Structure 1
């Protein structure tokens, strides 16, 4: 489907420069710099497919400029001791590590705020449940089997009904914290839709292509769970089980299908990825997907979040944050929500049929996308690769703290679920 990519000579690559004060300068250019939007070989591509040079890359994507945002990345030192110039490569490493460190610290603070809010709201709900049990002390409540509702059952019922409100309140507190820290970035039109001419136009066929990728990821995980279950090693997902049990209220549906996806996209594909973007699109997409996966504190859900995060990141990078939000909402609210619940209404047979249908559609979609756009994906990764040593910034203090804390929580949760 994609048209041939115009080839550029090394001389043409060498003539393309970074926009002033937007990207760190390198002492030795090992890779071609980002082509500028004025480069005709990239701005005059066709519109044959969503991935590759004739999709977003063909419309100026590799060199799409982005105006500097407040707090995007730390300023580089301009001079060393006694006014001597600083080596550009060292200055870039300094800016890179400082940006990654601050970004990881911000995400860790955001996660801490959400957990603290959840504990506070949970304590309030617990007090309300206790008061309700005391008020009904001595009274009997009929259960479904005609027995008596115990205090534990009553408390569990109250917590289940209030879980959605607790989740909504916690995530909104986290969003307010992020808005306070990055309001100058978030409260701009460019943050949501991009600078005019910066992103490619989303078309229905392209959106369906990205949705097929997300369904394909889910299909692969379903297949993996079936294989492990056949081997006697069921892959338990505490997060998914908890969401399934509590998705019985309007507030929980609102959290899962709308508010949660919007806030997650704003934080991970909006703030985080945008701050890392000056150091390479590949690096920004992969790093945000990794932190998004660890944020879930669940092995199975984390793998799904990482792979989907790569798709969401590409969509946000090349088509704007609005479209990654739309894709995330459709996946949570429709694919994993409405359609899944509809299938579940037919009992175990409906669940099995829906899982089988997802696998067929998803795996078929993955094969079709790879056959039609695999070359474009490889070319995109080649053009947007980062300077050597960029991923060493993952060794910064706050990034390692984020990885270690969430990694330990994830492993403990997974081990407890497997043993239990």
Structure 2
């Protein structure tokens, strides 16, 4: 019985305590933060985690979920405050310059904010502030050295180009899947919600959207999800961390179209981060995906016929070339596996981390609410 409960006595590597050859040891943090005796001479790793180990594992899962929950609350509060303060500032300025204000002034201001660069700039500011702030705060509390997230090991230019091609391929595949799911929901009498990224405003609004989509989102979202959250959720298993970071990245978008894309791409980005011990290639892949979408939107607003030609030709190239890259990647590489001991320390403990569960439920509820509003 004792032989079934423990490994052979010996020295345990605290950065690979489960002796998993499929993981990148350099990506892992010291497991002695979770199980202090792991570095003791002759210590053996139990098959089932004791209460102390379970408590410490759940503590990190709670921290990951808690930071995402704090991020959710902070973005909504700050956005609400900003959208309340700006109309007041504008009304004070207009009263000083024009005197009395029209009866429909609130409507005028609301339309101005929504249809100008101000709305996009405010959103970009909120996510820049919250994504970066939660990332730094989470890394501090989890004792994650920020510099360790930018080491970028064993990455060549051809490999980086392959990752970019895979990202665009997954973007195309997710669009097809989203269309299929959307058709099924519509036939079932359910509405779907998709954010509007059309470019029909001023040049300033266009610049704000490009800045937000192509710079703020790729950098700050990767800091939060592949920087802090992936690292925390990978304390036991890199495989578990990859799928959890992809899942919550998907849920955070609160709509089917983006949810499918962000989950598939999230798995790729999580794998890249753990393999190369860096979020820099993740930022580049994220930038490529968002920039391609923005380019298609720009062309569509400029010349619809040219946009259709570009989209059609590029879609064929991306789907055919991406399929080749995808098959090659499946043959040559694979996601990290779990050892039996790791499997016993992941999902069943994460279910008890209430901030994770609550954050997921809030995002799912919001997505269903948006669908219901669209259906109405």
1:263 aligns with 2:215: no
Shift of 1:17: 8.2
Query: What do residues 49-73 of structure 1 show as CA deviations (whole Å, max 9, x unaligned)?
Result: xxxxxxxxxxxx734324737xx99
Q: Distance in 2 between matches of 1:167 and 1:312?
A: 24
Shift of 1:329: 1.6
Q: Distance in 2 between matches of 1:350 and 1:106?
A: 44
Q: Distance in 1 between matches of 2:335 and 2:90?
A: 54
Partner of 1:10: none
1:365 aligns with 2:321: yes
CA contact under 8 A between 1:125 and 1:162: conserved in structure 2?
no
Normalising by structure 2, what TM-score?
0.78
Q: Distance in 2 between matches of 1:376 and 1:16?
A: 34
Query: What do residues 182-230 of structure 1 show as CA deviations (whole Å, max 9, x unaligned)?
Result: 2486764322125xxxx32232x22222222221222123334555677
CA contact under 8 A between 1:22 and 1:278: conserved in structure 2?
no
Partner of 2:56: 95
Q: Distance in 2 between matches of 1:120 and 1:129?
A: 14
Q: Distance in 1 between matches of 2:87 and 2:356?
A: 34
Alpha carbons of structure 1 residues 289 and 386: separation in structure 2 relative to 1, 3 Å: farther
Alpha carbons of structure 1 residues 73 and 299: separation in structure 2 relative to 1, 3 Å: farther
Partner of 1:211: 164
Q: Distance in 1 between matches of 2:81 and 2:343?
A: 45
Q: Distance in 2 between matches of 1:18 and 1:112?
A: 44
Q: How many residues align?
A: 350
Query: What do residues 265-317 of structure 1 show as CA deviations (whole Å, max 9, x unaligned)?
Result: 01110111112223222111111111111111222111111111111111212
Query: What do residues 241-279 of structure 1 show as CA deviations (whole Å, max 9, x unaligned)?
Result: 157567924233212111221111011101111122232
Q: Distance in 2 between matches of 1:388 and 1:227?
A: 33
Larger relative contact order, structure 1 or 2 (CA cutoff 8 Å, min sep 6): 2
Alpha carbons of structure 1 residues 224 and 162: separation in structure 2 relative to 1, 3 Å: same
Alpha carbons of structure 1 residues 65 and 154: separation in structure 2 relative to 1, 3 Å: closer
Q: Distance in 1 between matches of 2:67 and 2:375?
A: 32
Q: Which moved more, 1:259-268 or 1:152-161?
A: 152-161
Instruction: Describe the SS at the equivalent of 2:374.
Output: helix
CA-based RMSD of the aligned residues comes to 3.7
Match of 1:173 among 129, 143, 158: 129
Give the structure with the higher percent helix.
Answer: 2
Alpha carbons of structure 1 residues 305 and 341: separation in structure 2 relative to 1, 3 Å: same
1:200 aligns with 2:200: no
Q: Distance in 2 between matches of 1:86 and 1:187?
A: 26
Partner of 1:55: none
CA contact under 8 A between 1:265 and 1:321: conserved in structure 2?
yes
Partner of 2:374: 417
Normalising by structure 1, what TM-score?
0.71
Q: Which moved more, 1:357-366 or 1:103-112?
A: 357-366
1:34 aligns with 2:20: yes
The aligned runs of 1:4-403 (5 Å cut-off) are 20-24=13-17, 33-35=19-21, 62-66=23-27, 68=29, 75-76=34-35, 89-91=48-50, 92-131=53-92, 152-153=107-108, 155-159=110-114, 160-174=116-130, 175-183=132-140, 188-193=146-151, 199-203=153-157, 205-224=158-177, 226-227=179-180, 233=186, 236-239=192-195, 241=196, 248-319=205-276, 320-332=278-290, 334-347=291-304, 349-377=305-333, 379-382=334-337, 387-389=342-344, 390-396=346-352, 397-403=354-360
Q: Distance in 2 between matches of 1:176 and 1:259?
A: 13
Q: Distance in 2 between matches of 1:259 and 1:18?
A: 45
Alpha carbons of structure 1 residues 260 and 94: separation in structure 2 relative to 1, 3 Å: same
Shift of 1:401: 0.5
Q: Distance in 1 between matches of 2:341 and 2:224?
A: 22
Shift of 1:90: 1.6
CA contact under 8 A between 1:237 and 1:299: conserved in structure 2?
yes
